[in-house]
Structure 1
Amino acid sequence: MTEIVHNTAKVGDLTLHYAETGAKNETLVLMLHGFPEFWYCWKDQLPVIGESYHAVAPDMRGYNLSDKPEGVKAYTIGKLIGDVIGLADHFGQEQFYLVAHDWGAAIAWAVAIGYPDRVKGLVILNGPHPYIFSELLAKNETQIAHSQYIAKFQEIGVEEEMLKNDAAWLWNWTFRRLRKSGQMSMADEAAYREAWCRPGALTAMLNYYRASPLQPATEETKGQGFGLDPEKFRVRVPTLVIWGEADHALIAENLVGLDALVEDLTIIRLPGVSHWVTHEAPETASTEITLFLNALDRRNRPEKH
């Protein structure tokens, strides 16, 4: 197993903190966490992937030890895409692999769609494709019901409620069940509460939702849709989707029609695993990610004559 090392990168005007393993390895793998996590989401995967790759898990802008620019406009998708490209540039890598979960997956989908020449392969863990998700948010009663938290997170000042009593609401909403089951430890709980309670962190984290045009339909807007053109959301890089089927926030219909939008797609379903794949199935996640990256490396390697 390789040791996790911490460092910072200057990306544009921001300083991003990151954890890394396998820095001596040639091929870069960027690992993007979602809400409300931070680099620590990948603590079990980093040592495994770092044996063969240069694995880098940043705290995304606004999270934990990374800079927290003020204002909702600092968290639009264009800026989030720019952070990923800028981080790859920081490491001097024209091409790289992307592994991502939840909000990190939303960004990773966008990077793969916008910069297919730079992404060698994409691994998504419980993160919906933006076009499919937009359709479900507009028209699917179940997904609309399960996404009401998105509307709540866009309310100004909601972070005060979420941070009371050492972020008790946020902990109970996310990981309390995993702590009780033994899938997360006391040290894990302490790490998350510390990250959430850093000055300005939770406001910045919620600004991802506030800057997004996607929100669940209301009675007035239901069925109208967002007017997105699916042709502009095609993914032309090899993609692995690992999906916990017991996800309470993202319904299984997020996988329906995905093969029509992703040219080279593999889906692995994990029965009984919820949204928090890296915590509930850490070994499976590490194994499947590594097998996929290795297979792509073999495919891309020039044949010897």
Structure 2
Amino acid sequence: MILLHGFPDVWSGWHYQIPELAAAGFRVLAPNQRGYGRTDKPKGVAAYDIDQLAADVIALADSENASTFHLVGHDWGGLIAWRVAALFPERVRRLLILNAPHPGAFQGYLLRHPSQLCRSWYIGFFQCPWLPEAVLSARNYALLFRAVRSTSQPGVFDESDRRQFVSAWSQPGALAAMLNYYRAVVRRSPASLKRSVPVPTRILFGRQDPAEEPGLAEVSLQFCSQGSIRWIDEGAHWIQREAAETVTAEIIQTCSS
């Protein structure tokens, strides 16, 4: 089982799930994705194209001699997970997506729903050169951590989380690499992202997410031949932390069937 974190998280965002999944008998891999923490940080936006990020997941599975695997992704990790399952469906046994739209669904939804466009304003800001890096890293990454806390339920993130994040974000080149995910994906034609997913798919979505509307989950089902949604009523954006027991149980049940 491979767990993919999102922006601006790191591998340890799955710390509630990892021991429980291992106890349930799964071999669990939870990597820092390309550019995060101490991972390699290749130069240039093209190095963070979503197809390259998907290829990283396959390379990780190959390194473990895993011909097939279960795949779980949150936020940007969810977008990459969608892409892996679309490009390499023979490799993915079960797909679980946490608060992340299918990449082919996002732009069309934005055009039809101005309210989501307002929530996603930061994607446009991230396209600027150097300025987002300067703003987000100012005052020891205060604004970036504030964004994390503002998209979660109260009390989910504390000072120990902030220290761990800042340690990862402050690695040389890390913040630019993290933002390059957003810069690379807007360079893709929308049509190139619309490939459907034949893998059995379970979407878990927090209804209280201030960054993503529930409609994004619903429209993503159009790209699944075998898809369903589990709503997490009490969850905001970080449901693997906010509703850890529920999310873990869903993963185990889905991947054990």
Deviations 1:81-107 (A, max 9, x none): 110010000000111110000111111
**Shift of residue 146, structure 1, vs aligned partner:** 1.1
- Counterpart of 2:17, as a letter, is Q
- Counterpart of 1:228, as a letter, is A
Whichever structure has more strand as a proportion of its residues is 1
- Do the aligned partners of residues 103 and 178 (structure 1) sit closer, same or farther apart at CA in structure 2, a change above 3 Å counting? closer
Which residue matches 2:15?
A: 43
Which residue matches 1:110?
A: 83
Matches for 1:10-89 after TM superposition, within 5 Å: 29-51=1-23, 52-89=25-62
**Shift of residue 260, structure 1, vs aligned partner:** 3.3
Which residue matches 1:274?
A: 236
Which residue matches 2:171?
A: 198
Deviations 1:192-219 (A, max 9, x none): 121111111101100111111279xxxx
**Shift of residue 233, structure 1, vs aligned partner:** 2.0
| Runs of 4+ residues deviating >6 angstroms | none
Q: Number of residues paired by the alignment?
A: 255
Tell me which of 125, 133, 146 is aligned to 1:159.
Answer: 133
CA distance in 2, matches of 1:280, 1:129: 22
- Do the aligned partners of residues 175 and 227 (structure 1) sit closer, same or farther apart at CA in structure 2, a change above 3 Å counting? closer
Deviations 1:111-138 (A, max 9, x none): 1011111100100000101222121123
**Shift of residue 43, structure 1, vs aligned partner:** 0.9
Moved more, 257-266 or 156-165: 257-266
Q: Secondary structure, in 3 states, of the residue corresponding to 2:191?
A: coil
CA distance in 1, matches of 2:61, 2:181: 21
Which residue matches 2:115?
A: 142
Is the 1:100–1:123 contact (alpha carbons within 8 Å) kept by the matching residues of 2? yes
CA distance in 1, matches of 2:206, 2:197: 21
- Do the aligned partners of residues 68 and 254 (structure 1) sit closer, same or farther apart at CA in structure 2, a change above 3 Å counting? same
Which residue matches 1:253?
A: 215
Tell whether 2:142 aligns with 1:168. yes
**Shift of residue 227, structure 1, vs aligned partner:** 5.3
Q: Secondary structure, in 3 states, of the residue corresponding to 2:156?
A: coil
Tell me which of 175, 184, 194 is aligned to 2:157.
Answer: 184
Tell whether 2:242 aligns with 1:286. no
Comparing both chains, which one has the higher relative contact order based on Cα–Cα distances under 8 Å and sequence gaps of 6 or more? 2
- RMSD over equivalenced CA pairs, Å: 1.9
CA distance in 1, matches of 2:192, 2:109: 15
TM-score, normalised to structure 1's length? 0.79
Tell whether 2:196 aligns with 1:228. no
**Shift of residue 229, structure 1, vs aligned partner:** 7.4
Q: Secondary structure, in 3 states, of the residue corresponding to 2:95?
A: strand
CA distance in 1, matches of 2:151, 2:181: 25
Q: Please identify the structure whose Cα radius of gyration is greater.
A: 1
Is the 2:151–2:209 contact (alpha carbons within 8 Å) kept by the matching residues of 1? no
Whichever structure has more helix as a proportion of its residues is 2
CA distance in 2, matches of 1:156, 1:148: 16
Q: Percent identity?
A: 37
- Counterpart of 1:261, as a letter, is F
Q: Secondary structure, in 3 states, of the residue corresponding to 1:53?
A: coil
Is the 2:35–2:174 contact (alpha carbons within 8 Å) kept by the matching residues of 1? yes
Q: Secondary structure, in 3 states, of the residue corresponding to 1:242?
A: strand
Is the 1:134–1:214 contact (alpha carbons within 8 Å) kept by the matching residues of 2? no
Is the 2:85–2:199 contact (alpha carbons within 8 Å) kept by the matching residues of 1? yes
Q: Identify unmatched segments of 5+ residues in structure 2.
A: none
CA distance in 1, matches of 2:133, 2:165: 15
Which residue matches 2:72?
A: 99
